[in-house]
Amino acid sequence: MAIPESASEYISEQAALLRAAGVRRRIVFPEGDDSRVSEAAARLAKEGLADPILISPSAGTAPPGVRIVDPQGSPLLGRYAAIFYERRRSRGVTQLEAATAAAHRLNFAALMTAAGDADAVVGGCVHTTAEYVRSVLRSIGVVSGFRKVSSAHIMAVRDRTFGRKGLLVFSDAAIQAVPTAAELAEIAIATAATARAVFNAEPRVALLSFSTRGSARNPEAMKVADALRYVRARAPELKADGELQADAALVASAGRSKAPGSPVAGRANTLVFPDLNSANIGYKLVERLGGGALLAVVLQGTARPAGVISRGCSAHDIYNAAIVIAARAGRLLAEAV
């Protein structure tokens, strides 16, 4: 099945912005000896979209513009081991254990990003998401102001009247299983920042439920309503509403009927699900039954940019994800200056 036009247009748009910026973001891939990664990296370098760094124990011949690094023989290993030790010593990690851990490809790539020797890390096509995310948490950590890391799935759908011309952000479909109201609010605020960075547009955040504005009196729906109160306390400038049913969030007529006067209803481009079950099921249904496309998975709340790819991905999927992550990294790094 062909991907939605909104997906192709968005990737082309982001690629053009990356070229126009004149700064190639350094994207490190911990699974650099996977053929899909090397193919995607070669294409990114050839098209001038990034400076890929492949972490691989076997230093072969790198394609033009691609760097291969073997952790075991790298002069950076000592510095990265020291960083890892400082981050984990309170957990009982010894210097020897830190040196061993820093040489592991997942940790090494994350530490390279933490040290500023790469602008973002993208991994997960060989290792499980849990293994990869653990390496990011241990080596990069959580940004100040956040307690939890979450994920955002950048989705493209065929009907361009939805979201931002057919583009939406779904969260959290990979990390936080059953967030509390306060954690859900933190996810919503983080996802709004992701939407702003990847779309370069104002986020309109819908906190989803099976209820709209108290239409069902149930503890699960009330949790979502409580999350909105936390959001408004922490980020009063944010256009957010909830609890909203999916049709009230996305369809203009349903939004007017169920949530009149809402700044979000019928126009949401950022969907925050109440738990991991609903978010994961939701994005896969959109992808498989609705003909949508997953463009990238972004980790939110990390101190440095990180993206997730799946074990079932193709080289083209990695290429797309790297473009989205590179563009987001560029905007986040520019804001930090």
- Decide: residue 142, CB within 10 A, 0-12 exposed, 13-18 middle, 19+ buried: middle
In whole angstroms, give the CA distance from residue 329 to residue 72.
Answer: 28
Q: What gap in Å lies between CA 161 and CA 167, rounded to an integer?
A: 9
Cα–chain center distance at 27: 14
User: Mind listing the pLDDT tens digit for each residue in 239-271?
Assistant: 999 999 999 999 999 999 999 999 999 999 999
Which tens digits make up the pLDDT trace of 136-192?
999 999 998 888 999 999 999 999 999 999 999 999 999 999 999 999 999 999 999
- Token pair listed for 254: 């349903």
User: If you average pLDDT over every residue of the chain, what do you get?
Assistant: 94
The predicted model scores a pTM of: 0.93
pLDDT reported for residue 337: 45
Give the whole-angstrom CA distance, residue 326 versus residue 200: 14
pLDDT > 90: what percent of the chain? Answer: 89
The answer to whether 85 and 98 have CB atoms below 8 angstroms apart is: yes
Beta partners for 54? 29, 68
The DSSP code sequence of 185-245 is HHHHHHHHHHHHHHHSS--EEEEE-SSSTTSS--HHHHHHHHHHHHHHHH-TTSEEEEEE-
Q: Is the dihedral of CA 47, 316, 56, 30 positive or negative?
A: positive
* pLDDT tens-digit profile, the chain (337 residues): 578 999 999 999 999 999 998 889 999 999 999 999 999 999 999 999 999 999 998 767 888 999 999 999 999 999 999 999 999 999 999 999 999 999 999 999 999 999 999 999 999 999 999 999 999 999 999 998 888 999 999 999 999 999 999 999 999 999 999 999 999 999 999 999 999 988 888 999 999 999 999 998 899 999 999 999 999 999 999 999 999 999 999 999 999 999 999 999 999 999 999 999 999 999 999 999 999 999 999 999 999 999 999 999 999 999 999 999 999 887 766 565 4
For the stretch 166-199, what's the b/e string if a residue is b when 16 or more beta carbons lie within 10 angstroms of its beta carbon? bbbbbbbbbbbeebebbbbbbbbbbbbbbbbbbb
H or E element, residue 25:
strand 25-29
State the pLDDT at residue 334: 58
What is the C-alpha to C-alpha distance for residues 287 and 285, in angstroms, rounded to an integer? 5
Domains of the chain, each with CATH number or no CATH: 1-141+303-337 (3.40.50.10950), 144-301 (3.40.50.10750)
Please give the Cα distance from 210 to 228 (Å, whole number): 15
CB of 303 closer than 8 Å to CB of 141:
yes
